Amino acid sequence: MHLRYQVLFVALLTSIVTAAGIPSSTDALTECKACPYSLCRNKPWNANNITLTCWTAGTKIVDDTTWLKTEDNCYVTQYDLKEYDGDYTVDLLYCGAISSDWTSLHAKTKYMSECFNTPYVLRKRVKAYKNEVDLTLTCVTRNTTVTDDDDRFEIMGSAKWYKTSSNCYVHEATLYHVEYEDELEDCGPTPGVDYYAHQPDPVTSSSLAPTATATPGLNATIFGTLDKRSDLTRRWIYNTTIGEEYANCTEKATINNSTENAVEQVFEFGQSIDVQCGTVEYGEGRDNYTIFLLTTDFCWVQDWMTDPNLIEAPLRQQAYPHCEVFTDTES
Ligand SMILES: *[C@@H]1O[C@H](CO)[C@@H](O)[C@H](O)[C@H]1NC(C)=O
Ligand SMILES: *[C@@H]1O[C@H](CO)[C@@H](O)[C@H](O)[C@H]1NC(C)=O
Ligand SMILES: *[C@@H]1O[C@H](CO)[C@@H](O)[C@H](O)[C@H]1NC(C)=O
Ligand SMILES: *[C@@H]1O[C@H](CO)[C@@H](O)[C@H](O)[C@H]1NC(C)=O
Ligand SMILES: *[C@@H]1O[C@H](CO)[C@@H](O)[C@H](O)[C@H]1NC(C)=O
Ligand SMILES: *[C@@H]1O[C@H](CO)[C@@H](O)[C@H](O)[C@H]1NC(C)=O
Ligand SMILES: *[C@@H]1O[C@H](CO)[C@@H](O)[C@H](O)[C@H]1NC(C)=O
Ligand SMILES: *[C@@H]1O[C@H](CO)[C@@H](O)[C@H](O)[C@H]1NC(C)=O
């Protein structure tokens, strides 16, 4: 008797709950994940045709811990879905508690390392790691490209990026060799999320980037309409050559106190150097400044001695990372 009552009760509940799922949509740049946490790997989904099947709790996005499972078998945060005239936690079944599930691997930055919201170069960065920082990597994108002519993924001939525990991507070229890399799973499709929209408080953009940028949309073709980057533009680490007879690579980024500024290396004309970031020393008077570039040997070369130089590319000039921004020392 008691048993029968239970069965009936469950049947009644199920009929209240929308069995077929609830359609939804999003305007936000967002991702659908293998589990309901920000660090979970992404799964392919159709963001233009979303049907929600059950709800669960996961990473709190701003003020919202509800994540919804879609018919594509992945989880999207409620925060990025269009407002629903109802309550998913009432109208949908509970998916059950979903545990977190991602790979992790230790790595270390070798150079100053920008960490972007996406596995390609953006003006905005989430973190700016110093060199010699211990990182926890959670996945790898070995070979992401959106379109054939989109070269923003590549730095120094490689398109490999790793996601850190801060949910942003660092480029292979800025790290020491990552051992046991095969143990990392693929990050999946990486449209990115609107990192800034997901912050509880507005992040002061001045500390993050010199200029703002358009936010890429979910639609991959939108990537193509972002300002085009030539091979001389925002590409750090970048390689250039010495354009003068020779160039002193000094211990400090200053033209002052030459006796106290050791010459660590002397580069010859035509010699190739790799540059991590730049800094400016201002002199007296208007427009009196010297740009210094930090090489991968950790000494400073004056920009005017390089060919091509930094300021030959307007975009690079505007958006190059000042060495001073690299302050993050934790993954
Ligand atoms: C949306 O996806 C469902 C299956 O998940 C499919 O049956 C339906 O035709 C799709 N609708 C559109 C407009 O593509
Ligand atoms: C990278 O992508 C290109 C083009 O899609 C493909 O030809 C190549 O095999 C891929 N390389 C790896 C290592 O996956
Ligand atoms: C992407 O956007 C372009 C231009 O807005 C549009 O023509 C195209 O159909 C869209 N593609 C998808 C898959 O939504
Ligand atoms: C930078 O490196 C690439 C690939 O190694 C090379 O093709 C290019 O000529 C180099 N550029 C400079 C300015 O050295
Ligand atoms: C390079 O350093 C040497 C001292 O080691 C100095 O005599 C020389 O003037 C410097 N050259 C330039 C171009 O700064
Ligand atoms: C330059 O030298 C002066 C005098 O020796 C010293 O006070 C100053 O701190 C030095 N500046 C730098 C950047 O080393
Ligand atoms: C730039 O400033 C330095 C001092 O920092 C000064 O020695 C130099 O003469 C100035 N150059 C010009 C062109 O004003
Ligand atoms: C170099 O000298 C100029 C002018 O004396 C001064 O403004 C600037 O702060 C000095 N730079 C450093 C690194 O000491």
Torsion of CA 65, 39, 325, 317, to 10 degrees: -110
Which ligand 6 atom sits nearest the alpha carbon of residue 260? 14
Measured in Å, residue 248 CA sits from the centre of ligand 5 at 6
| Cα gap 202→196, rounded to integer Å | 7
Of all protein residues, whose CA lies closest to atom 8 belonging to ligand 5? 248
Ligand 1 centroid – CA 49 distance (Å): 6
pLDDT score recorded for residue 46? 93
Residue 260 is predicted with a pLDDT of 87
Residue 142's pLDDT is 86
Atom of ligand 5 nearest to the CA of 246: 13
Contact 37, 112 (CB under 8 A): no
Quick check: 303 and 323 in contact, CB under 8 A? no
What's the CA gap between 73 and 220, in Å, rounded?
A: 21
Neighbour count for residue 296 (Cβ, 10 Å): 18
**C-alpha closest to that of 235 among 313, 165, 297:** 313
pLDDT (0 to 100) of residue 234:
52
Structure tokens at 269: 């004309």
pLDDT at site 222: 29
323's tokens: 């060495």
Nearest-ligand number for the alpha carbon of 285: 7
The reply to whether ligand 3 has any atom less than 6 angstroms from the CB of 219 is yes
How confident is the model at residue 318, as a pLDDT? 60
- d(CA 249, ligand 5 centre) in Å: 9
**What are the tokens at 168?**
């942003």
**pLDDT (0 to 100) of residue 285:** 86
Instruction: Tell me the average pLDDT of the chain.
Output: 82
Residues of the chain with pLDDT below 50 are 1-15, 202-233
Residue 145's pLDDT is what? 60
Confidence (pLDDT) at 310: 83
**3 state DSSP class of 185:** coil
Question: What's the pLDDT at 83?
Answer: 95
Residues 6+ apart with CB under 8 A from 298: 131
Task: Give pLDDT, residue 317.
Answer: 62
CA of residue 317 to ligand 5 center, whole Å? 26
